[in-house]
Amino acid sequence: MKNYLNFENEIKNIETELDKLKDPYNNEGISTVNTGKIDKLQSDLDKKLKDIYSKLDPWQTTLVARHEDRPKSKFFIDNLFDNFFPLSGDRLFGEDKSSIAGLANFEGHSVMVIGQEKGDDLNSRIERNFGMMKPEGYRKSIRLMKIADKFGLPVIMLIDTPGAYPGVGAEERGQAEAIAKSIECSLSLGVPTISIIIGEGGSGGAIALASSNKILMFENAIYSVISPEGCASILWRDPKKTLEAATAMKLTSKDLLELKIVDEIILEPNGGAHRDREIILLNIKNSLKKNLVELTAMSRKDVIEHRKNKFLNIGREKSLSNDLLSSDKLFISGADNLFGVKNKIGKKKTYIFITVITIILLFLVFYKQ
């Protein structure tokens, strides 16, 4: 059974009619396949998908990124990589099943793969904690990143999480420290690192695995410091203002590419990645191959320098203005304003003096009465 989003009603109607025409013997009164009508409806469906998905607003994009049928990390690990060998545990507390990680081969390269996994059905989602990693998940990632660094293996990270798990147990075991250490470890690696945001890239839970040389992002994925619902609740005290929040946060792939927070957009088929998994597999494979060739040609020193410069340059070109908030300019601007006021007072000294004396005399007259 297909799942449809609230803005896909027209698509649902066309596909329902298509399914009936493709299986006429299960429909009363129909005994032949009407190929002409099927072709027309298929053409209408393609046009409708293209029209709707070319005009998605940020909140609709968020819904697509969370779609139940969207391919998850496990699907990409199973279909992109050969000889995947899973590795488990953080050697401190336990295993976090919201993270799938291990050694694998990709196009002749030995790599380390780390993926955040949400699960495909209710049982697997509960088991995977809906993709929300706990401290042991991040500490496992740190352990495996260090192994990759030791043996010179590129690290590929698949990001799909609403955020790090905010439960009491996770906080007691040092959630914030684990995320910070994961970011620190990612930035210090001497091997190439590539992060791919395949669905939701939520808050510190995502950036813990997205401090990489290259950040790739699916066309209909999102990447933000907080969910639109959370932002709307904080700013407007109204969780229904999700569209305003999603628009303000600039969480879509186009916005983030323009801001140079992500490096590349991986295109999806019309209607989202879940509508044609073969196309999205081919697109992600080509992108990974191209970026791995570029990064593996660098020396260890160049890889670290590349990553450092990438994050230091974020926001510099799109600042408020050139050095607008520098302390020197703020001081000069404040001093200019102060001296401007002083000069104006000097020019109108007599007028101000007379006005003050007049006010005092009036006050004394009324006070005596």
Task: Calculate mean pLDDT across residues 66-93.
Answer: 93
Q: What does the pLDDT read at residue 363? A: 67
Confidence of residue 264 (pLDDT cuts 50, 70, 90): very high
Strands 109-116 and 99-106: antiparallel
Q: What does the pLDDT read at residue 291? A: 94
Task: Calculate mean pLDDT across residues 154-163.
Answer: 94
What phi, psi does 223 have (nearest 5°)? -150, 115
| pTM for the structure as a whole | 0.80
pLDDT at 182 exceeding the cut of 80: yes
Q: Which residues contact 363 (CB under 8 A, 6 or more apart)?
A: none
Q: For residues 356 and 218, which has the higher predicted lDDT (pLDDT)?
A: 218
Confidence of residue 38 (pLDDT cuts 50, 70, 90): confident
Q: What does the pLDDT read at residue 330? A: 45
pLDDT at 369 exceeding the cut of 90: no
Confidence of residue 321 (pLDDT cuts 50, 70, 90): very low
pLDDT at 244 exceeding the cut of 70: yes
> Cα dihedral angle (35, 36, 42, 47), rounded to 10 degrees?
170
Least confident of 169-173, 217-221, 305-309, 343-347: 343-347
Q: What does the pLDDT read at residue 340? A: 61
Q: What does the pLDDT read at residue 338? A: 55
